[in-house]
Amino acid sequence: GENVEQHPSTLSVQEGDSAVIKCTYSDSASNYFPWYKQELGKRPQLIIDIRSNVGEKKDQRIAVTLNKTAKHFSLHITETQPEDSAVYFCAASPRWNTGNQFYFGTGTSLTVIP
Amino acid sequence: NAGVTQTPKFQVLKTGQSMTLQCAQDMNHNSMYWYRQDPGMGLRLIYYSASEGTTDKGEVPNGYNVSRLNKREFSLRLESAAPSQTSVYFCASRETSGAPYEQYFGPGTRLTVT
């Protein structure tokens, strides 16, 4: 089955700096890669996603890049703000997946220091 | 649309008691999922239902049972609760026809077993 690894597990940045979170996956059949943000005590919510036919996607201060050859994808947050502080999860979804499951990384706790 | 709803929000059980966590979605999604989230361990899949009438085990199914009551509702039952089942439980749903789509999460149930 699919295996997703996520690094780093914790990340602290100064407000205004950039943050990068990286994930690797094992199954070349994965074709969908969402990123979720979970604030303390809240549910995970999608912030950006990318499909395997696209190399990069951007939404304001957030971008995701995908390297299918190397089987890794990354989340980039620019001009970080205190409200970006949260836990971020990456996931991969293989197209063979009869259960349509997501395979989640273990999460990155991001702290933005004002 | 209410999205994905869960009841109850909080529950305290004694060891050996049973309970059912309820989940419903109003987005006409085919697939539904139950996760548990423990500190520092990310989201672990307990059971999933790829479509109405089917259920399958995920990563951590022991001690749980599920019922896909209809397309909208997917319940999780703990027959004899144990302290190791203290966790936050999230239900999620996903549309699975056509292009890959995100999972939508419910607000979670915080369960404590004493």
pLDDT at B40: 74
The residue of chain B with its CA nearest to that of A46 is B102
Work out the pLDDT band at A100, boundaries 50, 70, 90: confident
| Average pLDDT of every residue of chain A | 94
| Average pLDDT of every residue of chain B | 94
pLDDT at A97: 64
A-chain CB neighbours of B43 within 8 Å are: 44, 89, 104
pLDDT at B57: 94
The tokens describing A42, both together, are: 């809240």
pLDDT tens string A6-50:
999 999 999 999 999 999 999 998 989 999 999 999 999 999 999
pLDDT at B25: 97
Q: How close A114 gets to chain B, by Cα (Å)?
A: 24
pLDDT at A108: 97
pLDDT over 90 percentage in chain B: 82
- The answer to whether the CB of A52 falls within 8 A of the CB of A63 is no
The residue of chain A with its CA nearest to that of B5 is A43
Q: What is the mean pLDDT of residues A52-68?
A: 93
Q: What is the mean pLDDT of residues B42-50?
A: 93
A-chain CB neighbours of B60 within 8 Å are: none
pLDDT at A105: 95
pLDDT at position B51 over 70: yes
* Three-class HEC string of chain A: CCCEEEECCEEEEECCCCEEEEEEECCCCEEEEEEEEECCCCCCEEEEEEECCCCEEEECCEEEEEECCCCEEEEEECCCCHHHCEEEEEEEEECCCCCCCCEECCCEEEEEEC
pLDDT at B108: 97
Which among B30, B102, B108 has CB closest to A43? Answer: B108
pLDDT at B8: 97
pLDDT at position B86 over 80: yes
Work out the pLDDT band at A95, boundaries 50, 70, 90: confident
pLDDT at A98: 64
Q: What is the mean pLDDT of residues A76-99?
A: 90
SS3 B18: coil
CB contact under 8 A, B50 and A99: yes
Taking the C-alpha atoms of residue B77 and residue B58, their distance in angstroms, rounded to an integer, is 15
B-chain CB neighbours of A45 within 8 Å are: 105
